[in-house]
Each structure stands twice: as C-alpha cells, then as structure tokens.
Structure 1
Amino acid sequence: MPLYEHTFIARQDLSNTQAESLIEHFSTVLADNDGKVVESEYWGVKTMAYKINKNRKGHYAYIRSDAPAAAVQEMERLMRLHDDVMRVLTIKVDEHEEGPSVQMQKRDERDSRRERR
C-alpha cells in the first residue's frame, strides 16, 4: 500500500486532550478503511505565520500512515467537514523516515541545551 504523511492544524481553543483525541479519531477512520497508522505525533500549540479563521495559533498534529487511497480520501473528507480542523496537508512518500519527525527533534535539541547551562 502507498505511504502517506498527514499534517493538520486544529483550532487553538481546544484542550490538548481534545486535540490528541482528534488524532485518535482520524487514525480509527484509516483503520476502519483497511489502512494502518505507522506513527502519530502531537506537536502542540504553535503560532502560525498568518491568521486562519481569525486564529493566530493552532494545535499541530502529524500522522504517518500506510493506507489505500480510498481510506486517505475518506479521512481527508472527514477532516474538511470537521469544525475543529482548520488546515490539512497530505503527502505521498516513497518511504517513512526512521525516528521522530523534524519538529520533535528540534524540541529534543532545545531540552538538551537547557541541561548544559
């Protein structure tokens, strides 16, 4: 099956648990349509470069999946209909990278720099 990477932004007024439950919800949509979630990450609340729907910040989430195209289309359709999701980006990749994403690596590097002080 094809490999995909999905990134979406949820509204800033959600709690962290609600944003993480969105990841679980869309993961089950993929699983129900014969797909498989390889890895998912919650990146936290980040400031956006420009306002989207009058929001300056948003909850960022990332999902790596191994799913058929029909499952991805269904998940994207449900994301577009969901009121809490502001933006969606899906990319088809040849292979998934090992380890955490670049966003999570930056956070780890910041934590190690604080320890040295």
Structure 2
Amino acid sequence: MPLYEHVFISRQDLSNTQAEGLIEHFGTVLADNGGKVVDSEYWGVKTMAYKINKNRKGHYAFLKTDAPAPAVQEMERLMRLHDDVMRVLTIKVEGHEDGPSVQMQKRDDRGDRRERRS
C-alpha cells in the first residue's frame, strides 16, 4: 500500500487530551477503511505565521500512514468537515524515516544544519 504523511492543525482552545484524541479518531477512520497508522506524534501548541480562523496558535499533529488512496481521501474529507481541524496537509512518500521527526528532535541532535557565518 502507498505510504503517506499527514500534518493537521487543530484549534488552540482544545485541551491536549482532546487534540490527542483527534489523532486516535482519525487513526480509527483509516483502520475502518483498510489502512493503518504506522506512527503518530503530537507536536503540541505552536504559534503560526499568520492567523487561521482568528487563531494565532494551534495544536499540531503528525501521522505516518500505510493506507490505500480511498481510505486517505475519506480521512481527509472527515478532517475538513471537523470543526476543530483548521488545516490539513497530506504528502505521499516513498518511505517513512526511522525515529522521531525533525520537530521532535532536540536542536543539538540535528546534524544537517550548517554553521552560521559571523
């Protein structure tokens, strides 16, 4: 099955448990349609570059999935209809990277950044 990565932003006035509940909810939607969540991460509340629906902050969540296209389309459709979800981004990938995403790594552990010049 194809591999996908999803990032969605939910409203800032949700509690952490409600935001994490959304991850579980959309994971069950995928499972009901023949897919599975390989890994999920809750990135927490982050400040956005611009306001979305009068919100300056939002709960960010990241999902790595292995699902057929119709299951992903159904999950995206339900995300867009959900009142608490503000934005959704889905990308088809060749393979999932092992370990935590860049957002979850400490700044010191990121080896791909160049030194700044003075």
- TM more than 0.5: yes
Distance in structure 2 (CA, Å) of the matches to 1:21 and 1:41: 12
Distance in structure 2 (CA, Å) of the matches to 1:30 and 1:108: 35
Task: Please state whether the residue corresponding to 2:106 is helix, strand or coil.
Answer: helix
Structure 1 residue 107: Cα displacement: 6.6
Task: Please state whether the residue corresponding to 1:47 is helix, strand or coil.
Answer: strand
* 1:32-111 correspondence to structure 2 within 5 Å: 32-106=32-106
Q: Alignment length, in residue pairs?
A: 109
Per-residue CA deviation, residues 30-74 of structure 1 (Å, 9 max, x unaligned), is 000000110000000000000000000000000000000000000
Distance in structure 1 (CA, Å) of the matches to 2:9 and 2:51: 12
Distance in structure 2 (CA, Å) of the matches to 1:33 and 1:107: 37
Distance in structure 2 (CA, Å) of the matches to 1:80 and 1:106: 31
User: If each structure's helix is expressed as a fraction of its own residues, which one has the higher value?
Assistant: 1
Structure 1 residue 106: Cα displacement: 3.1
How large is the RMSD of aligned CA atoms in angstroms?
Answer: 1.1
Gaps of 5+ in 1: 110-117
Gaps of 5+ in 2: 110-118
**One-letter amino acid matched to 1:21:** G
Q: TM-score, normalised by structure 1?
A: 0.91
Alignment pair present for 1:25 and 2:9: no
Q: TM-score, normalised by structure 2?
A: 0.90
